[in-house]
């Protein structure tokens, strides 16, 4: 089985379409690690497309916030404003869909899916201080996570060697192949489709070939100007419009 792993789409339809285009023919099932909506200008179209294409979707913090299941006190003012806008825009059936999304961890054959971490769906795993305990406590070899919008992840070898996995900051197309080794544990982030924050504005995703035990990371350019124009039309906050082109 080959899986297309998507995360943090954030209502960016142009980015999502390009990811599906570049991944075409390379996968059999689509999995999503949450944050379908929030920030971007196309919440309904993105939810619609994911309902059509994804086999498994778990919820992210923005999904919870945008369907009213979580308050936005902890969000910065721009994220808060975008959440209120998204709540207004979402159709009732898509709100109902977001409300019934399961939290992670979701157990799949030979791996797990989470939004933040196995312990806490809202935790950010960014530094070794967060990644090492998470790797030590995970009960499966491979966990896919999102939430940080940083493509790559971490590994811990049988000998206890910790390593960060990163795809480089300016690349496009196929970025990196990772062959899983027996005895090594992996925490893998496919990157963010709709709002990357690793200094590379290009939409990110990963393909997991379960039979070959291989993960391939990708980036693709998309029509950023159109997404930004839609955000301007919707009067979404200017800093959210600008950050897309810097990948921040």
Say if residues 146 and 36 touch (Cβ distance below 8 Å).
no
Cβ closest to Fe ion, residue 14 vs residue 35: 35
Q: How far is the CB of 184 from Fe ion (least distance, A)?
A: 27
DSSP 28: S
Q: Which stretch binds Fe ion (CB under 5 A): 33-41, 65-73, 94-102, 228-236?
A: 33-41
Judged by CB, which is closer to Fe ion: 214, or 243? Answer: 243
Strand partners, 113: 106, 144
In 10 A of CB 71, how many CB atoms?
A: 11
Judged by CB under 5 A, does residue 198 bind Fe ion?
A: no
Closest CA to 155 of 172, 173, 176: 176
Residue 31, classed as helix, strand or coil, is strand
- Please compute, for residue 232, the number of CA atoms within 13 A of its CA located in the half-sphere on the CB side: 8
Candidate segments 6-14, 72-80, 178-186, 228-236, binder of Fe ion by CB under 5 A:
6-14
Strands 173-179 and 54-57 turn out to be unpaired
Size of the site for Fe ion (CB under 5 A): 2
CA-closest candidate to residue 188, choices 112, 105, 240: 112
Interacting residues with Fe ion between 159 and 178 (CB under 5 A): none
Contact 103, 126 (CB under 8 A): no
185 versus 202: smaller Cβ distance to Fe ion = 202
Pairing of strands 111-113, 142-144: parallel
Which CB sits closer to Fe ion, 8 or 121? 8
Min dist CB 61 to Fe ion, Å, is: 7
Nearer to Fe ion, 35 or 198 (CB): 35
**Which has the closest alpha carbon to 196: 233, 247, 132, 145?**
247
Q: Taking a C-beta distance cutoff of 8 angstroms, is the pair 35, 147 a contact?
A: yes
Stretch near Fe ion under the rule CB under 5 A, chosen from 5-13, 126-134, 171-179, 234-242: 5-13
Stretch that binds Fe ion, among 35-43, 129-137, 163-171, 200-208 (CB under 5 A): 35-43
Among 4, 5, 6, 8, binds Fe ion (CB under 5 A): 8
> Nearest residue by C-beta to Fe ion?
35
Taking CB under 5 A as the criterion, the residue among 3, 23, 31, 35 binding Fe ion is: 35
Interface residues with Fe ion (CB under 5 A)?
Answer: 8, 35
């Amino acid at each position: 089985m080959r899986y297309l792993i998507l995360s943090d789409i954030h209502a960016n339809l142009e980015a999502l379409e390009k990811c599906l285009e570049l991944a075409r023919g390379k996968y059999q099932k689509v999995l999503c690690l949450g944050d379908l909506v929030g920030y971007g200008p196309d919440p309904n179209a993105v939810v619609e497309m994911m309902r059509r294409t994804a086999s498994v979707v778990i919820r992210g913090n923005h999904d919870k916030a945008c369907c009213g299941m979580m308050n936005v006190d902890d969000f910065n003012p721009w994220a808060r404003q975008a959440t209120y806008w998204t709540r207004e825009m979402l159709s009732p059936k898509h709100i109902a869909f977001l409300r019934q999304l399961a939290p992670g961890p979701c157990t799949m054959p030979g791996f797990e899916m989470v939004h933040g971490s196995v312990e806490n769906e809202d935790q950010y795993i960014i530094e070794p201080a967060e990644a090492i305990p998470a790797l030590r406590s995970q009960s499966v070899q491979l966990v896919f996570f999102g939430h940080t919008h940083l493509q790559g992840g971490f590994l811990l070898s049988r000998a206890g060697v910790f390593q960060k996995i990163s795809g480089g900051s300016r690349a496009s197309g196929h970025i990196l192949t990772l062959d899983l080794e027996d005895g090594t544990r992996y925490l893998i982030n496919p990157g963010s489709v709709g709002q990357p924050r690793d200094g590379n504005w290009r939409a990110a995703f990963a393909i997991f070939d379960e039979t070959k035990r291989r993960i391939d990371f990708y980036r693709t350019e998309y029509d950023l100007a159109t997404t930004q124009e839609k955000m301007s039309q919707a009067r979404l906050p200017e800093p959210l419009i600008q950050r897309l082109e810097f990948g921040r």
